[in-house]
Amino acid sequence: MERKKPLPRALIACFLGTLVGLGSCGGGGGGGGGSSTSSVHLTKAVFQGSSVSDTDPSPGETLLLYFDGDITLVSGAILDDNDVQLSGSLGQITSAPTMVDARTIQVTLGSGVNFTVGSSTLDLASGQDVLQDGNGLLLAPDNGVTITNSDGDRPSIDSMTLNDIPSLLNGEGAAGGTLQVPPSGFSLDLTYSDPSSAIDTSSLVITSSVAVTASGNNKAAGTNLISFFSGSPGSGSASLSVPSSLVFPTGSQTLTVTIADATGNFSSPRSFNLTVHDLTDPLRPFETSQNSQQLWFIETGRDLDSLGSSTTNGGTTIDLSASTGANGTSDFVEELRVLGILTTDALAIPNVSGSKNSNEVSLDLLKTQILEQLAVLYQGVSISFTFTDPGGFPSGSASVLYANATHSRISLTGRSLSGVLGLAFFDPNNAHQEDDTLHPGSTPPSTQRLGVFLRTLTSSAINVSGSTFRLTFDSFIDHRGTPIGEDSGDKTRLQNLLAKTTGDSRQSAMDLAYRRLGRFLAVVLAHECGHSMGLVQDGAQPTGLYGGDSVNFPGSSTGHISLASSGLFGASAQEVMEPSLSFTKSLDSGTAFNDLLKAYLKETCLYGN
């Protein structure tokens, strides 16, 4: 695939591989210091007895105290009745509390302990000298909490990410990096579990390490922000959106979450580091000042060659022919004749749908599949595709600034002289509209033919016995089967397909051929157009999208990311921006852009400065 930077222009090609893999495309401190008090408060007190039914505290049993921010302990200080307000007693405490995690301490109860689980309340006392926050400020009394019982098992936050991006690509994996998101619009995605009790979804706490703006009001660092997110936590997972009313400031920051189970045990806090950058036109792929969305015109009329086929052994082997020079017929149409999706104009059945003959209807059915599959691949993205020319591209230009043209263009055509599956300009952050229909004879000229090349697929697969390709097209391939339009019943079959009514086995085979070829071409178009919209920038987040990292993502190359060994797509599907694409894998519904690339296309993740 060809990548383009405004100056200089660089080429990256998708080379043909095997049939299955087609070519590329703060800590404590003594003394309880500070002259003011902390904003961190006690949120829960949970008694841990010998069993979940034990509500009678005894010496040696423990009490867990949970807080809504990170805390530290004054070294050697003992938390006893002098440090709490309690309707009862902690008993004669003889040892200092211990840190369970950054927001939880454990107190071992002493002789004479006396409180009632379920009714006794506990709060910190004014002047306590044991607990302080990360800034060294002593924690102060608040509203107090009721001491509850628990099952002794703490829940856990099993995963935490943004925009549903897997750990391999969110900065937690070996490739490193830090996700960069806009101030609003991204999602926080969590999974959590508990070994013995249900999760109390109302207990979810989300805090930020920096102050944020919620509904126009400043919210200090450490404030529980859950009420400002959109969405509701589920029993085992949550996907919470950041609405426009919740605005995170630019720069590096950390989100921290905790959750409790139904018996009152809180999880250890889990944190996620992120970087926030304003959604500026230079970084966002789809600026809207001039165009409401990205529009791509798919051009199929290029005529640079004469393409055909023949056989000398009754179709066992198909010999492909190609010669340079226009002949008045679209190269894409000629290649579809080789596959038997179309026949010659002389043999086409007239008046299949109105005045349209069988070739026109067959081509329409294929184009419909391509557009439908592109919509699936780019679901939720501000982009559309059309086979109707929206008007000329700015004269003499290979690319223009995004706001200076109404659309980008790409050729869906026949032959690449270099044997690649596709070639397109690379445009970081989609700063430009591209003309990916150029070739050495165009104005302006390109050093190579740009576009998506069907002949590359045909030449690699047409004589491979038992392949998915052969099973799909052998019934129609010219000189091997009967091309669509050359069987007298194809008029009815095409009409049935238009009307979405069932028919005979040949009609089903025709439908399958349109669907499979449409899906494959859509995947390759999505790949090539992806390059021209900024995929896949080399490097880790926030400067890139992990393109070109063959160490952490084996098989990757510049402008591409291979996830074949990651397990993210399983054995039967693949990442759209892999360096090589497989006809068979492209047909799997799991073939898609990975979640990081989706987030970039949806403008919920950004790269660059």
Domain around 333: 290-409+454-516
Q: Is the pLDDT of residue 226 over 90?
A: yes
Q: State the pLDDT at residue 37.
A: 74
What is the mean pLDDT of the segment spanning 587-603?
98
Residues 303, 175: one domain? no
Here the CATH number for the domain that contains residue 167 is 2.60.40.10
Average pLDDT, the chain: 93
What's the pLDDT band for 13 if we cut at 50, 70, 90? Answer: low
What's the pLDDT band for 14 if we cut at 50, 70, 90? Answer: low
Residues 133, 205: one domain? no
Q: Is the pLDDT of residue 319 over 90?
A: yes
Residues 136, 246: one domain? no
Residues 129, 170: one domain? no
Separation in Å, CA 306 to CA 2, 108, 335, 394: 25, 87, 9, 29
d(CA 587, CA 518): 9
d(CA 574, CA 429): 23
Residues 247, 376: one domain? no
Q: Which of the pair, 272 or 395, is modelled with greater confidence? A: 272
Instruction: Mention every residue, 6+ apart, whose C-beta is less than 8 A from residue 436.
Output: 408, 409, 410, 411, 423, 424, 425, 450, 451, 528, 529, 532
Q: State the pLDDT at residue 12.
A: 52
Residues 122, 253: one domain? no
Here the CATH number for the domain that contains residue 98 is 2.60.40
pLDDT tens profile 397-423: 999 999 999 999 999 999 999 999 999
Q: Is the pLDDT of residue 3 over 90?
A: no
What is the mean pLDDT of the segment spanning 171-175?
97
Alpha-carbon dihedral sign for residues 119, 123, 128, 133:
positive
What is the mean pLDDT of the segment spanning 217-234?
95
Q: State the pLDDT at residue 597.
A: 98
Q: State the pLDDT at residue 17.
A: 45
d(CA 495, CA 515): 16
Instruction: Mention every residue, 6+ apart, whose C-beta is less than 8 A from residue 148.
Output: 44, 45, 46, 47, 117, 118, 263, 264
Among 496, 516, 536, the domain-final residue is 516
d(CA 532, CA 4): 8
Q: Is the pLDDT of residue 429 over 60?
A: yes
Tokens 């036109």, residue located? 281
What's the pLDDT band for 28 if we cut at 50, 70, 90? Answer: very low
d(CA 119, CA 48): 15
Residues 269, 305: one domain? no
pLDDT tens profile 230-254: 999 999 999 999 999 999 999 999 9
pLDDT tens profile 536-590: 999 999 999 999 999 999 999 999 999 999 999 999 999 999 999 999 999 999 9
pLDDT tens profile 433-473: 999 999 999 999 999 999 999 999 999 999 999 999 999 99
pLDDT tens profile 363-390: 999 999 999 999 999 999 999 999 999 9
pLDDT tens profile 29-65: 333 333 477 889 998 899 988 777 788 999 999 999 9
167 in a structural domain = yes
pLDDT tens profile 338-354: 999 999 999 999 999 99
Q: State the pLDDT at residue 23.
A: 43
Q: State the pLDDT at residue 1.
A: 39
444 in a structural domain = no
On whether the CB atoms of residues 298 and 435 are closer than 8 A, the answer is: no
Residues 111, 139: one domain? yes
Q: State the pLDDT at residue 26.
A: 34
Q: How many domains does the chain have?
A: 3
Percent of the chain at pLDDT exceeding 70: 94
Q: State the pLDDT at residue 149.
A: 86
Q: State the pLDDT at residue 514.
A: 98
Percent of the chain at pLDDT exceeding 90: 86
